[in-house]
Copies of this chain bind each other. A is one copy, B any other.
Amino acid sequence: MQISFQPEILSYGAGARLRSQPVVLRPVTLRKGSILFRQGDRQSKLYQVVSGWMKLSRVSLKGQDLIVELLFPGDHFDLHSLLDSAPYGFTAASLSAHPADLHCLHPDYWSNPNLVRILHQQLAQQIRRQHEMMAALASESVEQRILLVLALLARRGGRREGSSMVLPMPLSRKELAELTGSSVESTIRTLTDLQRRGLLHWSGQEFRCGQDFLNSARC
């Protein structure tokens, strides 16, 4: 079952049209779980997520994957590989359970002031989310880290239903573990524990939990 999710594709304003150039170079479609580029690749392009979700992940010394960033419709990547021209520090792929549609943008994005403003905004928010995740990884329990991810998903794709929140869970258990920096087993144990305590319910790819429960993830 596909989760409906209204994309917030941003318009680039008059700047692009005035120069009568198309901003979108070409569309890209990814099957579920397929890789767009790999850690170490050298080309640096600008993509925008149109539908579906993308994950940016790196492998650690021990061969474990860590999802460094989760991308939603409207998000651009990779912003910082544009700033320096170093090779990609991570692998970009669609989530294992969902296909994704992307736009590969025209290389002269820097001449479009509207787009540049959007990119700067997204870059700053990305850094803030990373700080939050670093703090959580450093000093909080697996439960708190999962809560943080749930709060993120609620912000980006959740809807209220009475006093509870319904949020999409496009991630497999393995991906959720890679995003929270814990093992699959610990992640599952924590989820079932939350369900047993009546704080969280799920069916298929939808999670449901109390509003105040999510708020306890605030930093």
Contacts and interface: CB of A to CB of B under 8 A. Distances in A.
Given A60-B219, A61-B144, A62-B140, A80 B135 contact: no
Q: In the complex this chain forms, how many copies of it are found? A: 2
Nearest to A137: B137
B140 A86 contact: no
A60 B127 contact: no
B134 A83 contact: no
B130 A130 contact: yes
Tell me the interface secondary structure of chain A in the complex: helix
Nearest to A120: B83
A89 B128 contact: yes
A84 B64 CA distance: 33
B86 A128 contact: yes
A9 B139 CA distance: 35
Contacts of A18: none
A185 to B, nearest CB: 15
Interface string A144-183: 1000000000000000000000000000000000000110
Given A90-B131, A127-B127, A219 B84 contact: no
A219 B61 CA distance: 6
A112 to B, nearest CB: 16
A121 interface: yes
Contacts of A128: 80, 86, 89
Nearest to A63: B139
A133 interface: yes
Interface in A114-138: 120-121, 123-128, 130-131, 133-138
Interface in A75-102: 80-81, 83-84, 86, 89-90
A58 interface: yes
A68 interface: yes
B62 A139 contact: yes
Contacts of A61: 140, 144, 219
